[in-house]
Amino acid sequence: DAGITQSPRHKVTETGTPVTLRCHQTENHRYMYWYRQDPGHGLRLIHYSYGVKDTDKGEVSDGYSVSRSKTEDFLLTLESATSSQTSVYFCAIRDLDTQYFGPGTRLLVL
């Protein structure tokens, strides 16, 4: 499982509240990614990081921000959660050519 954990694994929150999801890896990988998975859309990239303090936007970055202050942690923040951000969020790391995924966080925004 490439030493990737995500927290929390499940979260229910209300519209308008801030939410932070954490991805933690233990194997010192440089590249980390945040995806969201929705029925009929597959996996869509939100943001990615290529090193400490180095991040960039993906396909669906609106409403999300990220931070990476340590190699092992990549945080995804929803500044003001909306119902459209109800989804399953996966973190991934890059190892050579391949990406390996964390266990996911299921987020419900009411």
Partner 1 sequence: GENVEQHPSTLSVQEGDSAVIKCTYSDSASNYFPWYKQELGKRPQLIIDIRSNVGEKKDQRIAVTLNKTAKHFSLHITETQPEDSAVYFCAARVSGAGSYQLTFGKGTKLSVIP
Of 17, 8, 24, nearest in space to 89 by CA: 8
* Least distance between partner 1 and beta carbon 10 (Å): 11
**Considering the rule CB under 8 A, would residue 64 count as an interface residue with partner 1?**
no
> Per-residue b/e over 18-53, b at no fewer than 16 CB within 10 Å?
ebebebbbeeebeebbbbbeeeeeeeebbbbbeeee
> 2 near 99, Cβ under 8 Å?
no
**Considering the rule CB under 8 A, would residue 42 count as an interface residue with partner 1?**
yes
**Considering the rule CB under 8 A, would residue 62 count as an interface residue with partner 1?**
no
**Considering the rule CB under 8 A, would residue 24 count as an interface residue with partner 1?**
no
Nearer to partner 1, 17 or 57 (CB): 57
**Considering the rule CB under 8 A, would residue 60 count as an interface residue with partner 1?**
no
**Considering the rule CB under 8 A, would residue 89 count as an interface residue with partner 1?**
no
Of 106, 86, 79, 101, nearest in space to 34 by CA: 101
* Least distance between partner 1 and beta carbon 28 (Å): 16
How many Cβ atoms from other residues are within 10 Å of residue 93's Cβ? 23
Interface residues toward partner 1, by CB under 8 A: 1, 31, 33, 40-45, 48, 50, 56, 58-59, 90, 94, 97-104
